[in-house]
Amino acid sequence: MGMNIQIEDASAADSEPDVSETVVAEINITPLTDVFLVLLIIFMVTSTAIVESEITSRTGVKVALPKANAAGAVTKKRTDPILTVTKSNEIYLFSKKVDVANLEQEIRKALNDVGSETLLMRGDKNVFLGEAVDLMAIAKKAGAKNIAILTQTDQK
């Protein structure tokens, strides 16, 4: 930060007519602007990362959802349990990996914790139909009255 100050003695100005009294004070705002721009960039990057991590923690693992253009919008609550099946047939309830043997108890506990009767299912487009039907049967036994299968809309 640069600052220039010039002060001349007033008594000297009275005795010498060619010297005038001047005060010049300047503050260089370029470094201040640089700091604000860096802080703005840091804020934008961290806020994007926080939003993406919140979405990932809520929905679980990223999967390639099948496309469906005739499917209607699912009205989901923020707390509805989400069951995800990956391409390698790993099962996640929210973002927690669950074994098939414990799946019924985990779904029952998740439904009771949030007070919901709806289970949202997400599956990779390469998951076989038989496996999805088996998971839906387990979810029904666990107390899920409504099962919604999440898809990706076909955007043209």
Provide CB contacts within 8 A for 65, sequence distance 6+: 122, 123, 124, 125, 150, 151, 152
Whether residue 89 is found in the same domain as residue 139: yes
- 44 and 73, same structural domain? no
Residues in the chain: 156
Residues 6 or more apart in contact with residue 32 via CB below 8 angstroms: 1
| HSE (side-chain half, CA atoms, 13 Å) at 139 | 26
Let me know whether 141 and 103 are in one domain: yes
pLDDT in single tens digits along all 156 residues of the chain: 555 666 665 555 555 555 667 777 788 889 999 999 999 999 999 988 888 777 666 666 677 677 766 656 666 666 788 888 888 888 998 888 899 899 999 999 999 988 888 898 888 888 888 888 899 999 999 999 988 888 877 655
Range of the domain at 88: 61-149
Q: pTM (2 decimals)?
A: 0.56
Residue 50's H or E segment, with its range, is helix 30-59
* Tokens 């693992």, located at residue: 61
Do 88 and 32 belong to one domain? Answer: no
Domains contained in the chain, number: 2
- Reading the block at residue 122, the tokens are 């997400």
